[in-house]
Structure 1
Amino acid sequence: MHKKSGRRKAIKFFKELGPGLVTGASDDDPSGIATYSQVGAQYGFATLWMAWFTFPLMAAMQKMCGKIGVVTQQGLTSTLKNHYPKWILWTIIILSLPAILLNIGADIEGMGAAANLIFPTIPAFLFSILFSGTILLSIILFSYKKIAKILKWTCTVLLVYLIVPFCTNVNWKSVIHATLQPHIQWNAAYINMMVAILGTTISPYLFFWQTTMETEGHKKRKNVLFIDKKVWTSMRKDIDFGMLFSNLVMFFIILTCGAVLYPNGITNITTVEQAALALKPIAGNFAYALFAIGIIGTGFLAIPVLCGSISYMVAEALNWKKGFNKKFYQAKPFYIVISISMLVGLCLHGLGISPIQALIFSSILYGITAPIVILVILHISNNKKIMSENTNGWIANLLGMITFLIMTIAAIALIYFQF
C-alpha cells in the first residue's frame, strides 16, 4: 500500500511539472551535449564544479521570467515593447537571432549525424530532413497542451546520460574533489569553454520561452495584483526541478567524457558523432548507443523550443497573432516564421561548419548577449508599473546581479583573450 501511495505521489508530481522542466531539459540539447562533451574531453573533471555553481543562477533568472509571464500575461518581447524604447527591443532581438538560428542548424545536423551512427547506410542529411519535417508537422498539427505533454515526456530521454558513467570505470574520489573545489585556468581556451558552458546553461532564448510558456499555460486573469500562492509555489517547484535536472545531466556528460576520453588522450572533439564514437572502443557499444540516442531525443525536445522562441519574439514585436494553442490558419505568420527558422537551420548544413564548432560558437554568442538580456529582465522584475506588488525580493536581486556580473566578466575575459 505504501509503495502504491509513493508511486501515486511521484506520478502526481511529474504531472504538475510543466514549462520549468521543459525549459531546463531543452537546455541540454545537442548544443549543450556537444559543449559538455568537448569540455570533459579537453579538461577532464576540471569544470564539474560549474554544475552546482550555475544552478542557483539559472533558477533565479528563470523564476524572474516565469513571474513576469504570470503577472503580465505577456511574453518578454511584448513587455519590452509596451514599456521600453523600441531600440532596446530590437537590439535584443537582433543580438539573439543569429545564435538561436545557428543553434537550430547545429542541433538538426547533430541529430542527423547521431542517427547515421546507428543506421550507417542512411546518409545523415536524409535523417536531418526527416527529423525537421517530423518536428515541423508536430508543431503545426498538435495543440499547445499536446505539444507540452510530448515535450515533457521527451525529457525522460535525458536519463540515459545518468546511466552512461556507470557503464565505465570512474574514479569517484577525483570526481568529488573536482566537484567541490572550483578550478579556473587563465588562458583563452579555458575561458572560451567557461563562456560556452555559461552560454549554454544561461541562454537568452530560454528567458523568452519561460515567460511565454507561463502565459500559455495559465488562463487569463482579470486581476494581476493578486495571484494565488499555489501558482507561485507550483511555478517555483517546476523551475527548480527543471534547472536541477538540467544541471545533473550536464554534470554526468562532463563526467562521462572526463572519465573516458580525457585519460585516453582524446581531447579534440570536432563533431557530435565523434563524441559518441570515441566512447565505443573504450566504454563499449551500450554507452555509445545511449549517447547517440540521447542526442536525437534532446533534439526533438530542444528544436521546438528554439524555433518557438524566435517565432514568439518576432510575432510579439510585429503584433501578429501567435501561439501553439492556435491552428495554422489562425496564426499563419507565426507558423511561417517557425518553418523559415527550421529551413535556415537545415541549410546551415551546407556551409561546411561542423556541428561541434557551430554549437560551441552559438553557446559563446549566448554568453556574450546574455548580460544585456539579464539586465533588462532585472529592470522589468523591479519595475512596479509592470509588476505591481510582485517585484523581486532581495535574494532574487542578489542572484540576478551575481549572474549579470559573472556573465559580463566572462564575456570581457573572452574578448580580452582573443586579442
Structure 2
Amino acid sequence: MAPGLASSAADNDPSGIATYSLAGAQYGYDMLAAIVLSYPFLVALQLVSARIAAVTGRGLTGNLRKHESRPVLYFAVARFLLANLFNIVANIVAMGIGVRLLCRGPVVLWAVLATLLSIGLQWFVPYPRYARIVQWLATGLFLYAAVLLVVDTPWKLVALRSFMPRLTASKDSLEMLLAVLGTTVSPYLLFSQAEQEVEELHGRIEHCPAPEAAAIRERHLRKTRKNILIHTACSNGTAWFMLAATATTLHASGRPMLTLEDAALALDPVAGHFAGEALGLLLIGSALLALPLLAGSAANSAVSAFGGPHGEQRDRRIAQTLLALMAAGLLAAALLLVLHLDPVRILYWSAVFNGATVSPVIVLITMLSSKSLAAGEIRAHWTLRACSWLAAAAMSILVLAWLTSEIFS
C-alpha cells in the first residue's frame, strides 16, 4: 500500500487537488472520462521513457542532447524548467494554505517555513526514507473514496461519464479539460521515471558482461512495467475519486468553489468539523512528496543539457541548481501571496500551463523511442509509440481548440 500512497500523493500534488476539485465542482462528472481514458497513454509514455533510459544509460535530457539539435534541446529544457518552476511555486503556496487550515496565521510565514522544511529534508534526508513518513500525511486521499460510499452517489451516471464525456466547445470547458489533462499527464513524471531507471540500473550492470547486462536489463524492465501499471492506476484512481467526490457534494448542492476552504467541504460527509484540517494535511504531505521530484528532475535536466562533469562534481551542480530553483520558487510564491493573488487560480493555472505546453515534450520523447540509436535492441514497441503519438495529437488538438476559443470568444 505504501508505494501506491506515496506515488498517488506525489502525482496528485496540490495543483492536481485544486484542479480536480474545481472540475468536479463546476462540471460535475463530465470530466471523469479524461482521467480514465488518459490511463493507457500515460502508461505508454512512462514505459517509453523507462525503455530509453534503461537501454542508453542516460536520462531523457541526455538523450535529447545526443540526438537532437541544440535549439530543440534548449527549447525542451527551458519549457521543462519553466513548467516545473511554476509547479514549485504552486506547491509552496499550497503548503502555506495547508498550514493555515491547521493553525491559522499568516500564509506567507507558513509558506516560508514549510519551504525551508522541504529544502532541509531534500538536502539531509534520502527521499525514500522521508517519503515513508511524509506519505502518511496524505492519507486524506482515502477520504474522497469514503465520501462516495456515504453520500447518495448516482453510480450509473458516474459509470457512464467515466467513459462517455459530455463536453461543450466553450472556452471555459476546454480550458478546464486542458488543466485536468495537464495535471494528469505531467512531464516531470516522465523525466523522473527516466532518471530513476538510470540510477537503479547503472550500478548493477556497469561492470557486467554484455549478455548478463542485457538479461538484468530485461528483468528490470519487466518489473518496471508492472510498477508503472500499478502506480499509474493508483494515481489516476485517486484523481478519479477526488473529482467524483467533489461533483457528488459541491456540484450536486450548487456550492461554488472559490477557495481551498471551499474545497474542504467535499470532505464534510466523512471528516465533519475536521475537513479543513484533513485537507490541510493532504496539501502539506502531497507538496512535500512532489517538491523533490519537481526540483530534482528540473535540476538534473538543466545540468544534463550542458553536459559537463560526472560523479560527485555533477551531483554537486545538481544540488546547487535544485537549491536555486527552490529559492526562486519561494521568492515567487511569497510575492504572489503578498500581492493577494488567488491561491486556487495559481494552482489551477499551473495545471493549464502544463497542459498547454506538454505536446512538444511528448513528441520529442516519442521521436527518441523511434530511433534505433536511442533505444537500441529493445526499441519501444509500436503500440507504445502509437499511444504516444495519439497522446501528442490529442493534446495538440485540444490546445488549438482552446486557443481558437480564446481568440473568437
Q: TM-score, normalised by structure 1?
A: 0.87
Match in the other structure for 2:100: 116
Amino acid in the other structure paired with 1:259: T
8 Å contact kept, 1:21–1:241: no
Question: What is residue 271 of structure 1 aligned with on the other side?
Answer: 259
Identify, as 1 or 2, the structure richer in helix: 2
Alpha carbons of structure 1 residues 261 and 232: separation in structure 2 relative to 1, 3 Å: same
Closer/same/farther in 2, CA of residues 376 and 22 from structure 1, 3 Å limit: farther
How far does residue 147 in structure 1 lie from its aligned partner after superposition?
5.6
| Contact 1:37 1:275 (8 Å CA) reproduced | yes
Q: CA deviation at 1:331?
A: 3.3
Q: Equivalent residue for 2:162?
A: 179
CA–CA separation in structure 2 for the residues paired with 1:152 and 1:382: 37
Deviation of 1:388 (Å): 1.1
CA distance in structure 2 between the partners assigned to 1:229 and 1:71 by the alignment: 10
What is the match of residue 374 of structure 1?
A: 362
CA offsets 1:278-324 (integer angstroms, 9 cap, x no match)? 7559972244433332222111111111111110111111335679x
Write the distance in 2 (CA, Å) between the matches of 1:406 and 1:314.
28
Residue pair 1:371, 1:407 contacting (<8 A) in 2 also: yes
For residue 116 of structure 1, report the CA deviation from its aligned partner: 0.8
Say if 2:217 is the partner of 1:217: no
Pairing 1:229-240 to 2, within 5 Å after superposition: 229-240=218-229
Other structure's SS at 1:186 match? coil
In the other structure, the counterpart of 1:7 is: none
Are 1:196 and 1:360, in contact at CA under 8 Å, matched by a contact in 2?
yes
One of 88, 99, 102 as aligned partner of 1:104: 88
Q: Which amino acid aligns with 1:247?
A: N
1:3-14 correspondence to structure 2 within 5 Å: none
Stretches of structure 1 lacking an aligned partner (at least 5 in a row): 1-9
Counterpart of 1:400, as a letter, is S
Partner of 1:241: 230
Alignment of 1:249-288 (within 5 A): 249-267=238-256, 269-277=257-265, 280=268, 284-288=272-276
For residue 111 of structure 2, what is the amino acid of its counterpart? S
What letter matches 2:369 in structure 1?
S
Q: Does 1:406 align with 2:394?
A: yes
Which residue of 1 is the match for residue 296 of structure 2?
308
Counterparts in 2 of 1:194-205, with a 5 A limit?
Answer: 194-205=177-188
Structure 1 residue 405 displacement after superposition:
1.0
- Secondary structure at 2:38's aligned position in 1? helix
Contact 2:261-2:276 within 8 A present in 1 as well:
no
Unmatched 5+ residue regions in structure 2?
none
Displacement of 1:24: 5.5
Measured in 1, the distance between the counterparts of 2:106 and 2:381 equals: 53
- Distance verdict in 2 for CA 1:219–1:282, change over 3 Å: closer
Check 1:124–1:168 CA distance in 2 against 1; reply closer, same or farther (3 A cut): farther
Paired position in structure 2 for 1:4: none
Letter in 2 for 1:391: R
How many Å separate the matches in 2 of 1:318 and 1:258?
A: 46
The CA distance in 2 between the partners of 1:335 and 1:170, in whole Å, is 48
How far did 1:162 drift? 2.8
1:71-220 matched pairs, under 5 angstroms? 71-120=55-104, 122-143=105-126, 146=129, 158-220=141-203
Structure 1 counterpart of 2:384, one-letter code:
A
**CA apart distance, 1:243:** 0.8
How many residue pairs end up in the alignment?
397
For 1:119-169, what per-residue CA distance to the aligned partner results, in whole angstroms no more than 9, with x for missing partners?
12x322222122211111111112465366567777766434333433544
Letter in 2 for 1:211: A
Q: CA, structure 1 residues 343+322, in 2 after alignment: closer, same or farther (shift >3 Å)?
A: farther
Q: Distance in 1 between matches of 2:138 and 2:266?
A: 25
CA contact (8 A) 2:24 2:243 kept: yes
Where 1:247 maps in the other structure, the secondary structure is helix
Note the C-alpha offset of 1:229. Answer: 3.2
SS at match of 1:218: helix
Q: 1:322 and 1:114, CA in 2 relative to 1: closer, same or farther beyond 3 A?
A: farther
Change (3 A) 1:256 1:288: farther
Residues 147/115 of structure 1: CA separation in 2 closer, same or farther (3 Å cut): closer
Amino acid at match of 1:87: P
Given that 2:41 and 2:387 are in contact with CA atoms closer than 8 Å, whether structure 1 keeps it comes out as: yes
Q: CA deviation at 1:25?
A: 4.2
TM-score, normalised to structure 2, is 0.89
Residue 63 (structure 1) shift: 0.8
Q: CA distance change for structure 1 residues 74 and 150 in 2, over 3 Å: closer, same or farther?
A: farther
SS of 1:219 mapped into structure 2: helix
Mark the CA change 1:35 to 1:59 in structure 2 (over 3 Å): closer, same or farther. Answer: same
Q: Secondary structure at the match of 1:239?
A: helix
Q: Residue by residue, what CA displacement relative to the aligned partner does 1:373-419 show, whole Å, maximum 9, x if unpaired?
A: 11111111111112111112121122111111111111111111110
Which secondary structure state, in structure 2, belongs to the residue aligned with residue 392 of structure 1? coil
Compute the displacement of 1:98 (Å). Answer: 2.1
Is 1:343 paired with 2:327? yes
> CA 1:330–1:337 in structure 2 vs 1: closer, same or farther (change >3 Å)?
closer
1:30 to partner: Cα distance: 0.3
The answer to whether the 8 Å contact 1:114/1:273 transfers is: no
Does the residue aligned with 1:315 lie in a helix, a strand or coil? helix
The AA in structure 1 aligned to 2:17 is I
Alpha-carbon distance in 1 for matches of 2:307, 2:156: 55
- The match for 1:69 among 50, 53, 57 is 53
CA, structure 1 residues 234+158, in 2 after alignment: closer, same or farther (shift >3 Å)?
farther
